[in-house]
Amino acid sequence: MDNYYQQGGGESHALRLVFKRNPGILTKGDAQKQVIVYFGDEWPEIGVFPRVHITENDYGVVNFKLRKVSMMEQKGGCEVNQLKEGRSTCYVNRWLQEYIIEPLNCTLPYLRDVEASRGYRICSPHIIIEHYNVIQSSRSLKKKEQMSVSSTTTAIF
């Protein structure tokens, strides 16, 4: 939806989205009852917040407000750099580096195109399963827990 600009206010000028029934992967092809919509900036990575859960046959209204975020420069923190990447891009790159690349020396399949993943192979499914709790955790990047991984468990393909 590039270059979509609202021309007026109220319901008559609102953007309306209608989602078709999506077949669920985990429900053997039956329709999914809920869709999660994530909102982000113009950069490739999308953070897990803000998000809206849209349930089948429900009507929802979301109001957007334009704002510009300027992040202060801080050593080791997320900031807007020369590439003008947004907060989510910075966070995804830092999380990937600290929790996946540094301890496991590989990257996740769905993040292989992220800047931090360049030059790294995809982690073996066995490695991903072995470290699933760390990968799915919501711990802060500041409270990083080092994982000890022996070289024999870093089988990659």
List pLDDT tens digits, range 77-121: 565 555 556 677 777 888 888 889 999 999 988 888 888 899 999
Two tokens, residue 21: 């029934």
List pLDDT tens digits, range 19-48: 777 787 777 778 888 888 877 777 667 776
The model's pTM is 0.51
CA distance 88 to 47: 5
**Dihedral of the CA atoms 88, 90, 93, 99 (nearest 10)?**
-80
CA distance 23 to 58: 18
